Amino acid sequence: MNRKINVTIYNENYHEQTMPEVREIYPEGIHHAVAAALPEQQTGVVRFATLDDHESSLSQEALDDTDVLIWWGHAKHEAVSDAVVERCAQRVLHGMGLIVLHSGHASKLMRRLLGTETHLLRWREAGERARLWTVLPGHPIAQGLPETFVVPRDETYGEPFGIPQPDELVFLTWFQGGEVFRSGCTWQRGAGKIFYLQNGHETYPVYWQPEIRRILSNAVLWACPPERQVTPDRGPGNVPPLEPAD
Amino acid sequence: MNRKINVTIYNENYHEQTMPEVREIYPEGIHHAVAAALPEQQTGVVRFATLDDHESSLSQEALDDTDVLIWWGHAKHEAVSDAVVERCAQRVLHGMGLIVLHSGHASKLMRRLLGTETHLLRWREAGERARLWTVLPGHPIAQGLPETFVVPRDETYGEPFGIPQPDELVFLTWFQGGEVFRSGCTWQRGAGKIFYLQNGHETYPVYWQPEIRRILSNAVLWACPPERQVTPDRGPGNVPPLEPAD
Amino acid sequence: MNRKINVTIYNENYHEQTMPEVREIYPEGIHHAVAAALPEQQTGVVRFATLDDHESSLSQEALDDTDVLIWWGHAKHEAVSDAVVERCAQRVLHGMGLIVLHSGHASKLMRRLLGTETHLLRWREAGERARLWTVLPGHPIAQGLPETFVVPRDETYGEPFGIPQPDELVFLTWFQGGEVFRSGCTWQRGAGKIFYLQNGHETYPVYWQPEIRRILSNAVLWACPPERQVTPDRGPGNVPPLEPAD
Amino acid sequence: MNRKINVTIYNENYHEQTMPEVREIYPEGIHHAVAAALPEQQTGVVRFATLDDHESSLSQEALDDTDVLIWWGHAKHEAVSDAVVERCAQRVLHGMGLIVLHSGHASKLMRRLLGTETHLLRWREAGERARLWTVLPGHPIAQGLPETFVVPRDETYGEPFGIPQPDELVFLTWFQGGEVFRSGCTWQRGAGKIFYLQNGHETYPVYWQPEIRRILSNAVLWACPPERQVTPDRGPGNVPPLEPAD
């Protein structure tokens, strides 16, 4: 792929406004920390979207010019406009990559695209140690990562996680308190590739950790469609036969 | 499984009212032809639901007492209540089996559960010959069926079909006019099993054909959950650690 | 399914002869402990096979009369006859269920059927606590099991595990020492269903634990083919056309 | 990926020696026609291997320097050395891409890696029209291809095909005589990606057809591992705990 990858990063940007400890970790917001992890050489236009401006920053025009959308949301999923969710979902089905981070598992967009109760899981804010394991070593998203590495403190998520079985299970996480979690999962939906990564609670500097940044960078390269195709809507097709009847 | 399987059959029952040739094939409606194909020994309570009565016939109480829901719809998908669709979807996610027939691929319920543009496919009402092929010979839904058999006349459906990759591809169909179709597909969503069968246009007596009836009967046995479990809603769980911290 | 399930249990039966502490836990051998976990009502003929007698006890005749084969091996994989392995593999491909236990992941039979380096994983005999998690709650093999339960002491296995991605991931295990493992996996190969369960090191009484016994019982019911079919070998088929040429 | 892709093409090169009509279509052998379809810009070293020289041309050294191996065989599968097959299989498991063409479905290598009776299928040499359908439109191997296209004459293959369910089903083929076939399938095995393409009987000029050439080119780009990694053999790992015991 020779063209540059256009990335749009949505962050609800709420905790940064209301919790000083989050602002300390992410002074410019989680979206800017994520942006700093993008693959430098291959990244083209980077756009930001937050809850406050999402109706305009996630406009049809912006999405049509986006190859990969990254989504971080937590406390304000219900405040996201249904129309924007549907617009994003359609773009994924027509080829835009989607990377959903951490509590984004409960976002309207993830639930819309996967159809199951992706908000269901066990959780605990206890600053526990998380140990990620690479389950599918040859996968592009695992490239350059060790078999295992530690995230010193993160929110704990535990199974059972209400997702459809992933097409590919790339990472599993062990948590100090006894839980395991399918922490790195892929699905193809329509022409679009989806990757979910569990890590990144707002009160820990997870997105500054090199291994997590490598995963983000790898995932953007993986999720980018071969061509930026803005497929027009089409209804079911009533078509003539291709082959002659007897 | 010793208990009987309770089955609810939804048929929009519209063409039967408006097209004499359909009424001739299915004098009591498609739902009754489907009911006549259920596995006799194992079937318990059979309920019927049509568009006219679906808000009451697909009540929470009825669904809670249903093991497998069968869905046939075509011209009136949009007239189905969103609340009923959500009620059905939740029951599937909590274990109720779902069998979607023919044009039901474009139903709100199928789209809600699979998340993709399942209404997208090629089609043609040309009374072509369809030849089904068993792709996964050991599957319970294929039990007792030959490697291949002909449906003499049916509506033609063709790829690409806007579904997520099925968990299991059981049947493929060859059509006279040059199309192929993933005509028998399964997915697990939450605790529920879903089976889609392509066959059954209203103007041909497809549901009276023995092989198709065997598929319906097999599918009901396959889709039935081990226990009829009416799982209460639960939110994401905030839980204490199971293992001691260091 | 009304007929009874015929089960054959292979146990290499080596540690029982050489290690008093194993004989204390399994005085009649692991195979008899496993047999005692079979579903009472549905079980028909139970056959035993050990390394010493496996060429006769796993005869073609015995396998042809077997619905589900259970395999426990550890130290003596290479001593198993290639001909017997191929015989078993063919029966699985033609419909016999297969349940592979613990170190059986490195058996010739598992490697033959899955094609990957299934012997590769991390391991440690440290008597650590293992915590199993049900990842696919609606699956028949998980029926009646809690979301999580503890095996007080077992051998530790860790990812990356050299298996092809399972068709269904039913259980994950958390280990005290920091590992996670895909401990309950299914694959369909040919017409046969395969289930792998990680638990059961010979020096701990794992197969006497009620939850593990429930998994064994569930797995036998799940793996049993709908019909005991002894499919004759057939070569690729040179066949005439089914449809007329133009 | 900035480095060039090294490709090795195995062709048993038997029909070219014995059948003048094959030599007419492929004067330099099928391997050279395939080589001419490789992605020009991204291809590095191209190596050829035939049955006559395969023990040396598929040496460990050659394979260690290969990113993607392409395999065409038909009449002489059994003449391929078991040691070479195992060498190739190990390289695939450690990351080398593999593209298996046409009758290669029955090769020792395909059977070794997939574990099932991949030689089983229906077939007929009748010069029928084959119509390929793209089932997974967003897949890299389908890039630039139409929804459907015709191969004017090829050997007919039909289901049931004895493969494990593919990880991704990319193409389906409709045959004039009534068969359907899963003609473009992917699997990941170990760190390696495998693609099977049905087309290419030796008596028809299939590998000169632009759409088939595009598939070959796409498949090489898709199958190439992110890094050319020559992983040393390793046994199961006995490892100390990562986390402290209670």
Segment D101-118, tens digit of pLDDT: 999 999 999 999 999 999
Each residue's pLDDT tens digit in chain C (246 positions)? 668 999 999 999 999 999 999 999 999 999 999 999 999 999 999 999 999 999 999 999 999 999 999 999 999 999 999 999 999 999 999 999 999 999 999 999 999 999 999 999 999 999 999 999 999 988 999 999 999 999 999 999 999 999 999 999 999 999 999 999 999 999 999 999 999 999 999 999 999 999 999 999 999 999 999 887 766 555 558 888 888 766
CA distances from C78 to C93, C106, D158 (A): 22, 10, 38
CB neighbours of B94 closer than 8 A, spacing ≥ 6? B190, B191, B192, B229, B230, B231
The reply to whether residue A188 touches residue B238, judged by beta carbons under 8 angstroms, is no
* Helix boundaries (H) for chain C: 15-18, 20-25, 30-35, 54-57, 60-64, 82-93, 108-114, 210-223
State how far residue B58 is from chain C, nearest Cα, in angstroms.
23
pLDDT (tens digit per residue) in D112-150:
999 999 999 999 999 999 999 999 988 999 999 999 999
pLDDT (tens digit per residue) in C140-155:
999 999 999 999 999 9
For residue B160, cis peptide bond before it (omega within 30 degrees of 0): yes
For chain D, list residues whose CB is within 8 angstroms of any CB belonging to chain A.
95, 131, 136-140, 143, 148, 167-168, 176, 188, 190-193, 225-227, 242-243
Write out the E strands in chain C: 5-11, 43-50, 68-72, 97-101, 122-134, 148-158, 168-175, 180-189, 192-197, 237-238
The reply to whether residue B182 touches residue D135, judged by beta carbons under 8 angstroms, is yes
Q: Quick one: which of C202, C206, C203, C160 has its CA closest to C179?
A: C160
Nearest to D138 among A139, A140, A225 (CB): A225
Which residues of D fall within a CB distance of 8 Å from B136? 160, 165
For chain B, list residues whose CB is within 8 angstroms of any CB belonging to chain C.
95, 129, 131, 136-140, 143, 148, 167-168, 176, 188, 190-193, 225-227, 242-243
pLDDT (tens digit per residue) in C162-202:
999 999 999 999 999 999 999 999 999 999 999 999 999 99
pLDDT at D226: 86
The CATH number of residue B60's host domain is 3.40.50.880
Q: CB–CB of A47/A7 below 8 Å?
A: yes
State how far residue A25 is from chain C, nearest Cα, in angstroms.
28
CB neighbours of B108 closer than 8 A, spacing ≥ 6? B77, B78, B80, B82, B85
C-alpha to C-alpha distance for C174 and A156, rounded to whole angstroms = 14
Average pLDDT over all residues of chain A: 94
Q: What is the 3-state secondary structure (H, E, C) of chain D?
A: CCCCEEEEEEECCCHHHHCHHHHHHCCCCHHHHHHCCCCCCCEEEEEEEECCCHHHHCCHHHHHCCCEEEEECCCCHHHCCHHHHHHHHHHHHCCCEEEEEHHHHHCHHHHHHHCCCCCCCEEEEEEEEEEEEECCCCCHHHCCCCCEEEEEEEEEEECCCCCCCCCEEEEEEEECCCCEEEEEEEEEECCEEEEEECCCCCCCCHHHCHHHHHHHHHHHHHHCCCCCCCCCCCCCEECCCCCCCC
Where is pLDDT greater, at B181 or A238? B181
Q: Provide the token pair at B17.
A: 């009212």
Q: Provide the token pair at D76.
A: 């002489």
The reply to whether residue C133 touches residue A158, judged by beta carbons under 8 angstroms, is yes
Q: Quick one: which of D5, D2, D51, D55 has its CA closest to D217?
A: D5
Name beta bridge partners: C175.
C130
The reply to whether residue A190 touches residue D226, judged by beta carbons under 8 angstroms, is no
Q: Provide the token pair at B199.
A: 């066959």
pLDDT at D197: 98
Given the structure tokens 């299928």, which residue do they identify?
D121
Q: CB–CB of D170/D132 below 8 Å?
A: no
Q: Could you tell me if residue D90 is inside a domain?
A: yes
DSSP state of C95: T
Q: Could you tell me if residue C231 is inside a domain?
A: no
Q: Quick one: which of B198, B176, D134, B155 has its CA closest to A238?
A: B155
Q: Which residue of B has its CA nearest to A159?
A: B237
| pLDDT at position A220 over 90 | yes
- Domain of residue B51 covers 5-119+184-223
Given the structure tokens 């198993």, which residue do they identify?
C80
Q: Quick one: which of C185, C206, C183, C204 has its CA closest to C195?
A: C185
Q: Could you tell me if residue C37 is inside a domain?
A: yes
pLDDT at A235: 55
The reply to whether residue B159 touches residue D147, judged by beta carbons under 8 angstroms, is yes
Name beta bridge partners: C11.
C50, C72
Sign of CA dihedral B147, B164, A101, A144: positive
Q: CB–CB of A88/A161 below 8 Å?
A: no
- In chain A, the percentage of residues whose pLDDT exceeds 90 is 89
Q: CB–CB of A86/A58 below 8 Å?
A: no
Nearest to C236 among D121, D176, D240 (CB): D121
Q: Could you tell me if residue C50 is inside a domain?
A: yes
Q: Could you tell me if residue B179 is inside a domain?
A: no
Which residues of C fall within a CB distance of 8 Å from D236? 106, 119-123
Confidence of residue D234 (pLDDT cuts 50, 70, 90): low
CB neighbours of A179 closer than 8 A, spacing ≥ 6? A122, A124, A156, A157, A158, A159, B242, C133, C174
The reply to whether residue B122 touches residue A236, judged by beta carbons under 8 angstroms, is yes
Q: Give me the mean pLDDT over the D43-54 stretch.
A: 98
The reply to whether residue A177 touches residue B241, judged by beta carbons under 8 angstroms, is yes
C-alpha to C-alpha distance for A120 and C124, rounded to whole angstroms = 33
Q: Which residue of D has its CA nearest to A170?
A: D191
Q: Which residue of A has its CA nearest to D243?
A: A176
pLDDT at B214: 98
C-alpha to C-alpha distance for C181 and C183, rounded to whole angstroms = 5
Which residues of A fall within a CB distance of 8 Å from C161? 135
C-alpha to C-alpha distance for D182 and D114, rounded to whole angstroms = 15
C-alpha to C-alpha distance for D117 and D115, rounded to whole angstroms = 7
Q: State the chains in contact with C (3 or more Cβ–Cβ pairs under 8 Å).
A: A, B, D
Where is pLDDT greater, at D158 or B242? D158
CA distances from B3 to A166, B41, B200 (A): 33, 10, 29
What ipTM goes with this model?
0.94
Question: What is the count of structural domains for chain D?
Answer: 1
Q: CB–CB of B130/B154 below 8 Å?
A: yes
Binned average pLDDT, 10 residues per bin, chain B of 246 residues:
89 96 97 97 97 98 97 97 98 96 98 96 94 93 95 96 97 96 97 97 97 98 86 67 77
pLDDT at C242: 85
Q: Could you tell me if residue C124 is inside a domain?
A: no
Q: Provide the token pair at B80.
A: 């189905």
The reply to whether residue B236 touches residue A121, judged by beta carbons under 8 angstroms, is yes
Identify the burial level of D53 via C-beta atoms within 10 angstroms of its C-beta, where 0-12 means exposed, 13-18 middle and 19 or more buried.
exposed
For residue A225, cis peptide bond before it (omega within 30 degrees of 0): no
C-alpha to C-alpha distance for C73 and C51, rounded to whole angstroms = 9
Within 10 angstroms of residue D20's Cβ, the number of other Cβ atoms is 7
Q: Could you tell me if residue D131 is inside a domain?
A: no
Q: Provide the token pair at A133.
A: 């394991």
Given the structure tokens 């694959």, which residue do they identify?
C187
The reply to whether residue D227 touches residue A188, judged by beta carbons under 8 angstroms, is no
Average pLDDT over all residues of chain D: 94
The reply to whether residue B159 touches residue D172, judged by beta carbons under 8 angstroms, is yes
The reply to whether residue A192 touches residue D131, judged by beta carbons under 8 angstroms, is no
The reply to whether residue A160 touches residue C246, judged by beta carbons under 8 angstroms, is no
The reply to whether residue B191 touches residue C143, judged by beta carbons under 8 angstroms, is no
Q: Provide the token pair at B70.
A: 């069968």
Confidence of residue A228 (pLDDT cuts 50, 70, 90): confident
Q: Provide the token pair at A22.
A: 């989050």
Residue C43: strand, helix, or coil: strand
The reply to whether residue A190 touches residue B116, judged by beta carbons under 8 angstroms, is yes
For chain B, list residues whose CB is within 8 angstroms of any CB belonging to chain A.
89, 93, 106, 112-117, 119-124, 126, 128, 156, 158, 162, 164-165, 167, 176-179, 187-190, 234-243, 245-246
Q: CB–CB of C154/C191 below 8 Å?
A: no
State how far residue A168 is from chain C, nearest Cα, in angstroms.
8
Q: Provide the token pair at D212.
A: 């088939």
Q: Could you tell me if residue A193 is inside a domain?
A: yes
Q: Provide the token pair at D114.
A: 């997939």
Q: Quick one: which of D120, B105, B156, B153 has its CA closest to C233?
A: D120
The reply to whether residue D116 touches residue C106, judged by beta carbons under 8 angstroms, is no
For chain D, list residues whose CB is within 8 angstroms of any CB belonging to chain C.
89, 93, 106, 112-117, 119-124, 126, 128, 156, 158, 162, 164-165, 167, 176-179, 187-190, 234-243, 245-246
